């Protein structure tokens, strides 16, 4: 088989594993990115992203990483893997996707397959991307093929990665659909589902991530109500999870962060509005999840009242900065909001995150414990789960707020400290 040439646009946590896996499966792979340092590292076989799959496999393959978009013209397939964040008004920001499409148009290769992996809302391919090509005189299914295969990378996941996660693919025509499906069949050892249209493919990712946001909001609301009723919500959810069918546990916490879960629902909420539908339920779920940092600070104030300490002037040691366990990613991290609220209440804030030491205010856990009156665990890094009540007690810690319900509640309480989890008294 003639080695097909593939250009991956955007070499982040989605594009780089895809580039490596495509190269491992025999494609000639070019990578396009605007970060020169990232390009240098990749061309020297070093991964700019901490991920086992990359650390092991990047040195084995030959990816031509470059900042020069002319490389697109060489390739049979171009795959867009750039970020799709939301702006300060929580509206979808498709600027990076537009930039990638412009680069493909400027360096157009007739007959190319263009695949969008970036998360986009239903309608973006037909209402934004295809019109951009048409504007430049490039007709879909004639001059190029356009497909969508939503990314499903789960950063830090030891089991699921680009080699084995099932995928869905949608396109404008059968040739584009089959070509894209063949590509993913070649590189993924999993199911590749061909959708009846590109719009259904665009909807899949939003559905799966909104599902997660709503279910997290459900248990966050339970946590607030069970706090008032003295019920341990974690135990109740674990009990519900013994039901072997039709229950999927989610867990309450001090907030929902990351580049997917708190972002993707807004894509559907905003687009559905244009079609005259108001996603009330999804908006309420977002509101509940966005309220969790404030709720966590209220728990801290209640706990400090029990030991007659005002938040004003108290030194609070915040454990964790990143949005989820064992990653260094700060995007949409709820910890930002927690720190803002602590400072608004005139607390002295110290922070330590072993994955983000450059933004931590102390060098290690023991320094944090020594200097703090109260502890607020905001990220459930594995290292933090080993914290013992002795570590805390011997440093005079009086209050522990467990924002990810991952500490040993009973032993902290037995040591005479005030413990509050999210939905756990």
Question: Annotated catalytic sites, by residue?
Answer: 260
Q: How far is the CB of 34 from ligand SAJ (least distance, A)?
A: 23
257 binds ligand SAJ (CB under 6 A): yes
The residue number whose beta carbon is nearest to ligand SAJ equals 258
- Alpha-carbon distance of 307 to 286, in angstroms, equals 33
The candidate with the shortest Cα–Cα distance to 350, out of 395, 385, 306, 390, is 395
- Alpha-carbon distance of 319 to 342, in angstroms, equals 13
CB closer to ligand SAJ out of 101 and 216: 216
25, 212, 224, 371: which one binds ligand SAJ (CB under 6 A): 212
31 binds ligand SAJ (CB under 6 A): no
- Alpha-carbon distance of 377 to 354, in angstroms, equals 13
- Return the H-helix or E-strand segment holding 421: strand 418-421
Euclidean distance between the first and final Cα of the chain, in Å? 63
Q: Select the span of 40-48, 90-98, 135-143, 255-263 touching ligand SAJ (CB under 6 A).
A: 255-263
216 binds ligand SAJ (CB under 6 A): yes
Q: Select the span of 30-38, 51-59, 83-91, 209-217 touching ligand SAJ (CB under 6 A).
A: 209-217
53, 251, 369, 419: which one binds ligand SAJ (CB under 6 A): 251
152 binds ligand SAJ (CB under 6 A): yes
250, 381, 398, 420: which one binds ligand SAJ (CB under 6 A): 250
53 binds ligand SAJ (CB under 6 A): no
How many residues belong to the site for ligand SAJ (CB under 6 A)? 19
Instruction: Determine contact, residues 53/64, Cβ cutoff 8 Å.
Output: no
Q: Select the span of 15-23, 96-104, 153-161, 368-376 touching ligand SAJ (CB under 6 A).
A: 153-161
- Alpha-carbon distance of 228 to 237, in angstroms, equals 17
The structure tokens listed for 332 are 């949409």
The candidate with the shortest Cα–Cα distance to 218, out of 301, 292, 297, is 292
CB closer to ligand SAJ out of 257 and 317: 257
Q: How far is the CB of 234 from ligand SAJ (least distance, A)?
A: 11
Q: Select the span of 26-34, 204-212, 230-238, 303-311 touching ligand SAJ (CB under 6 A).
A: 204-212
Count of beta carbons in the 10 Å neighbourhood of residue 139: 10
CB closer to ligand SAJ out of 173 and 208: 208
153 binds ligand SAJ (CB under 6 A): yes
Q: Select the span of 104-112, 137-145, 152-160, 307-315 touching ligand SAJ (CB under 6 A).
A: 152-160
78, 112, 210, 253: which one binds ligand SAJ (CB under 6 A): 253
256 binds ligand SAJ (CB under 6 A): yes
CA-to-CA dists, residue 350 to 293, 312, 338, 360, 420, angstroms: 17, 14, 12, 8, 19
9, 204, 261, 349: which one binds ligand SAJ (CB under 6 A): 261
Q: How far is the CB of 205 from ligand SAJ (least distance, A)?
A: 7
- Alpha-carbon distance of 309 to 274, in angstroms, equals 50
Number of helices followed by number of strands (H, E) in the chain: 17, 13
Q: Encode 243-299 in three state secondary structure.
A: CCCCCCCCCCCCCCCCCCCCCHHHHHHHHHHHCCCCCHHHHHHHHHHHCHHHHHHHH
Pick out residues in 304-333 that bind ligand SAJ (CB under 6 A). Answer: 323-324
List beta partners, residue 8.
31, 79
Contacts with ligand SAJ by CB under 6 A lie at 151-155, 208-209, 212, 216, 250-251, 253, 256-258, 260-261, 323-324
């Amino acid at each position: 088989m003639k080695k097909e040439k593939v250009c991956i646009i955007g070499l982040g946590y989605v594009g780089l594993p895809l580039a490596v896996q495509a190269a491992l499966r025999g494609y000639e792979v070019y990578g396009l990115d605007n970060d020169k340092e990232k390009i240098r590292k990749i061309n020297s076989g070093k991964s700019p992203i901490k991920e086992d799959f990359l650390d092991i496999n990047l040195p084995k393959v030959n990816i031509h990483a470059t900042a020069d978009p002319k490389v697109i013209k060489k390739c049979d397939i171009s795959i867009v893997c750039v970020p799709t964040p939301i702006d300060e008004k929580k509206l979808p920001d498709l600027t990076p996707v537009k930039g990638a499409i412009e680069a493909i148009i400027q360096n157009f290769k007739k007959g190319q397959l263009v695949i969008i992996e970036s998360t986009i809302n239903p309608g973006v391919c037909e209402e934004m991307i295809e019109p951009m090509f048409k504007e430049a005189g490039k007709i879909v299914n004639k001059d190029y093929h356009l497909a969508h295969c939503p990314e499903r990378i789960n950063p830090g996941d030891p089991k699921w990665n680009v080699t084995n996660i099932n995928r869905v693919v949608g396109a404008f025509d059968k040739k584009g659909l089959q070509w894209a499906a063949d590509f993913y069949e070649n590189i993924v050892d999993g199911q590749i589902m061909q959708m009846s249209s590109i719009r259904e493919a665009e909807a899949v990712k939003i559905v799966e991530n909104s599902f997660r946001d709503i279910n997290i909001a459900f248990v966050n609301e339970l946590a607030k109500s069970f706090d008032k009723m003295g019920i341990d919500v974690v135990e109740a959810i674990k009990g519900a999870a013994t039901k072997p069918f039709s229950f999927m546990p989610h867990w309450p916490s001090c907030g929902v962060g990351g580049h997917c879960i708190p972002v993707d629902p807004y894509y559907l909420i905003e687009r559905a509005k244009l079609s005259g539908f108001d996603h009330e339920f999804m908006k309420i779920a977002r509101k509940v999840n966005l309220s969790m940092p404030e709720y966590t600070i209220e728990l801290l104030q209640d706990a400090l009242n029990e030991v007659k300490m005002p938040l004003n002037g108290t030194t609070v040691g915040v454990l964790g900065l990143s949005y989820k366990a064992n990653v260094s990613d700060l995007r949409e991290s709820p910890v930002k909001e927690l720190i803002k609220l602590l400072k608004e209440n005139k607390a002295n804030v110290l922070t330590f995150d072993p994955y983000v030491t450059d933004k931590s205010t102390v060098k290690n856990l023991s320094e944090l414990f020594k200097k703090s009156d109260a502890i607020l665990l905001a990220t459930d890094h594995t290292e933090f789960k080993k914290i013992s009540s002795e570590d805390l007690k011997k440093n005079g810690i009086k209050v522990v707020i467990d924002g990810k319900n991952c500490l040993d509640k009973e032993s902290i309480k037995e040591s005479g400290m005030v413990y509050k989890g999210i939905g756990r008294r």
